[in-house]
Amino acid sequence: MKKACVVKKKKIRGEAHEIISIMAIVSCMAIERGLTPHAKERSTILDVYKDEKFLRDMKDAFSHDKDLSILAKNFNVFMRVVEKVARGE
């Protein structure tokens, strides 16, 4: 009788340059939207970064480092500020 081998899912570990680049891209998009006449339109890319599943996965990926986990935990606050900038407030 063969024993079934349980494969443990490998945890994704995020790096500092990944979260900083996401924040930079989102910030640039918000500034661009705030300075263009399209500021009132919805942005599907910003909606992806506000998604609860994305935020949960991000917290898990950056939990291995103290500083990065703080950035990941506060990413939803960052997204609220980005939305205000995108609306031109």
| The predicted structure's pLDDT at residue 65 | 86
pLDDT tens sequence across 22-79: 888 888 888 877 777 765 666 667 777 888 888 888 888 888 888 888 888 888 888 8
Say if 10 falls within a structural domain. no
Task: Report the candidate in 54, 45, 39 with the shortest Cα–Cα distance to residue 25.
Answer: 45
In a domain, 21, yes or no: yes
Q: Is residue 11 part of a domain?
A: no
Classify residue 70: in a domain, yes or no: yes
The domain tally of the chain equals 1
CA angle 59, 52, 70 (to 5 degrees): 25
pLDDT tier, 7 (very low <50, low <70, confident <90, very high otherwise): low
Rounded to two decimals, what is the model's pTM? 0.67
> What is the rounded CA–CA span in Å between residue 38 and residue 33?
6
Query: Quick check: is 2 in a domain?
Result: no
Q: Is residue 8 part of a domain?
A: no
d(CA 15, CA 68): 8
Domain span at 76 = 16-87
